Structure 1
Amino acid sequence: MRCVIARFSFDLIKDEVEKSMSGVKPEPVTEASVTIGRKQYPIKQVGAIITGQDRRDFTTTEVVRALTRLGFTCHPAPTTTPTL
């Protein structure tokens, strides 16, 4: 599937995204995330790996849109409740 992330076109295939992320240890999830296989990764971590771009070059929304179209399940940022 062709998608545009940070003004660059990418041809992404679900199997290739899964292969790229295999063996990658997920960072702690503090923002929006995506489930790949049985692991949950931060969106920005996945975006950086599959595009080779710096995390500051693309938005979370761009990567969520692309991964959702590929059939991955994306999750919103976890909510934190203030402690009193």
Structure 2
Amino acid sequence: MRCVIARYPFDLVKSEVEAQMQSVRPEPLSGACVVIGRRIYPVKQVGEVITRQDRRDFTAFEVTRALTRLGFTCHETPPEAASA
């Protein structure tokens, strides 16, 4: 699926995003997050990995919109189960 993040077009595929994030350890959750596989990642971390751009170059909303369109479950705040 073609997505625009930080004014750059990316062709993203759900299975490729899952494969890229499989070996990445989730950072502590503090804001918008996404469920990939059995893990919960901050969307900024995922955006940095899949676009290879600095986190300051894009917004969490841009990545959340792209990941939602790919079929991932996104949250504005971390779910309660992950915080406990």
What's the TM-score once normalised by structure 1's chain length? 0.91
Structure with higher helix content: 2
Alpha-carbon shift at residue 22 of structure 1 (Å): 0.5
Matches of 2:38 and 2:21 in 1, distance apart? Answer: 11
Partner Cα separation in structure 1 for residue 62 and residue 77 of structure 2: 15
User: What aligned pairs does 1:1-84 form with structure 2 within 5 A after superposition?
Assistant: 1-78=1-78
CA–CA separation in structure 2 for the residues paired with 1:6 and 1:76: 20
1:28-63 deviation digits (Å, cap 9, x = unpaired): 000100000000000000000000000000000000
Same amino acid, percent of matched pairs: 68
Pick the structure with greater CA Rg: 1
What 5-or-longer segments of structure 2 have no aligned partner?
79-84
5+ unaligned residues in a row in structure 1: which ranges?
79-84
SS at match of 2:20: helix
Give the aligned length: 79
> Structure 1: which 4+ aligned runs deviate by more than 6 Å?
none
Question: Structure 2 CA distance, aligned partners of 1:21 and 1:39?
Answer: 9
